[in-house]
Amino acid sequence: MKLLLTGVSGLLGINFAQEMMQEHEIIGVDRGKLVSAPFKILKQDLLDAGSVEKILDAAQPDWIVNCAALADLDACENNPDLAKRLNMDLPRQLARACKTRSIPLVHISTDAVFDGEKDGFYTEDDKPNPLSVYAKTKLDGEWAVLTENPQSIVARVNFYGWSLGGKRSLAEFFHHNLTNNKSMSGFTDVVFCPMLVNDTTRLLVKVLKRGLSGLYHLVGTQAMSKYQFGVEIARKFSLRESDITPKSISFSGLLARRANNLWLSTQKLSTDLGEVLPVFSTGLDEFYTQFQQGYPQKIRSYQQP
């Protein structure tokens, strides 16, 4: 299939392309970071007028996955207008254009639409209550996509992996600091469901192949604190877990408010795909194997030196 990926230089986008380029023809939309990628690139700023029609005309894709976003929570607080344009207006335009052209669209959303006040295990029927500009604009984006084009798929995700810049994911943060013997904090009171980004991409393609539509939680099946996640990384790479100091997020000084408990149920996805979702330990094993096999260096070699 011909698969158009927006945000292909991002953490999800680059791993999606890398994971799927053997099986599918990948066309990535990029603003100029990728200079030697082994898949086709359309150079485009998606906020330029007419950009959506332009990329669809050029690519003529069978499927689209919208990985483009303003996904930095604190940047969203500082620039709510940009956050709205990227996280709501752009998905709306994509959904409208995909409806007209009958192209299946996956739009990526976030676990952060919830306030974390519930005792976890949020389902797709639970009412969101976003705490930050990022979360609010992502929720507005979900609504815009599903209103414009109910045949779309909206996936609330949370993932980790190796990124182009080496700093995008929490796993890279822990790995980098641990290997450099730097001490760091890990939040004990922020619970989430991390999934290896490659697992995320494989599941998203299964969702497309199945012709599913609507809202899905697509996160890891094991909930843990961010501190525990850091400890898991340290143990896997045989690094010193005592360098991670357990800490409460209340003392973090971060600008955007974060929810404490983002334990999401993936039951709906598992039932509709008819399969058990990957467990945390196999994802972490793959993350470690990727490191040993030079995967981070490989994807980083696609960008501007």
Binding positions for ligand NAP, rule: CB under 6 A: 7, 9-13, 31, 33, 45-47, 67-69, 71, 86, 108, 110-111, 138, 157-159, 168
User: How far is residue 91's CA from residue 68's CA, in Å, rounded to a whole number?
Assistant: 9
Bridge partners, residue 153, by sequence? 106, 214
Structure-block tokens of residue 64: 């689209």
Q: Could you tell me the smallest distance in angstroms from the CB atom of residue 31 to ligand NAP?
A: 4
The C-alpha angle 265, 173, 139, rounded to 5 degrees, equals 40
Return the number of the residue (240 or 298) whose C-beta is nearest ligand NAP: 298
Letter string b/e over residues 117-155, b meaning 16 or more CB atoms within 10 A of that residue's CB: eeeeebebeeebebbbbbbbbbbbbbebbbebbebbbbb
Return the number of the residue (183 or 254) whose C-beta is nearest ligand NAP: 254
Return the number of the residue (11 or 94) whose C-beta is nearest ligand NAP: 11
Return the number of the residue (183 or 223) whose C-beta is nearest ligand NAP: 223
How far, rounded to the nearest angstrom, does the alpha carbon of residue 65 sit from its chain's CA centroid?
11
Q: Could you tell me the smallest distance in angstroms from the CB atom of residue 184 to ligand NAP?
A: 18
Q: Could you tell me the smallest distance in angstroms from the CB atom of residue 54 to ligand NAP?
A: 12
Q: Which position's Cβ is nearest ligand NAP? A: 10
3-state secondary structure of 13: helix
How far the first Cα of the chain sits from its last, in Å, is: 31
Return the number of the residue (65 or 212) whose C-beta is nearest ligand NAP: 65
Q: Could you tell me the smallest distance in angstroms from the CB atom of residue 181 to ligand NAP?
A: 26
Q: Could you tell me the smallest distance in angstroms from the CB atom of residue 242 to ligand NAP?
A: 26
